[in-house]
Amino acid sequence: MGGSVRSSFKFWSQKEFGKGTIEVEKGDITAERVHVIVGTSSSQRLKEIILEAAGDVAKTAYKTELEKNPIPILISLPPGQLSCKRIFFVKWRPEKNETLLEKSITDFVCNTIKNVASHDFTSVAFPAIGCGLHGFPVDVLAKT
C-alpha cells in the first residue's frame, strides 16, 4: 500500500490492489516510514525486534494490553520511537500444510488491511510472514 522504494532495499514486486499499490521489499521493518508496522503473535523474535526498536512506551503498552486480554486477536500500540503511527501485533497461527499456510497468510494480510483501513491509515509494513521457521517461499508470499 504505497511508499517509496529506498535504494537500501531490494525491490521484489509491485502489485495494484484496489485503490492502492502493494510493494514487496526486503529490509528492516522497524525502519519503514508507514502508518502501521505489523508483527505477528506467533513470532517471539519479531515481536522482540519491533518492541526493542519502539522502546519503553510500546513495551509497557504491550504488557498492559496482554494483561487486559491474554489471548488478543489484535494489539494496537503507540509507535514509541518508531516513525509509524501505530504498531499492530496480529494473531496468526502457522500451518504445516502449504495450502493451509498460504490461506492463513492471505487471511492474516486481508484482516490486517481491514483494520488498517478502519483506522484511516493508508500505508502498512508487513513482515515476511511464514518465510522464516515455516519455510514459506518468499516469491510465493510476494504473489500472495
Q: What is the pTM of this model?
A: 0.80
Say which residue the cell 488498517 belongs to: 116
The ranges assigned to domains in the chain are 14-138
Tens digits of residue pLDDT in 21-53:
666 677 889 999 999 999 988 888 889 999 999
Burial group, residue 38, by CB count within 10 angstroms (0-12, 13-18, 19+): buried
- CB of 31 closer than 8 Å to CB of 19: no
> What integer pLDDT is reported at residue 9 of this predicted model?
38
Tens digits of residue pLDDT in 47-102:
999 999 999 999 999 999 999 999 999 999 999 999 999 999 999 887 778 788 78
Q: What's the CATH class of domain 14-138?
A: alpha beta
Q: Tell me the one-letter amino acid at 81.
A: Q
| CA-closest candidate to residue 11, choices 132, 21, 20 | 21
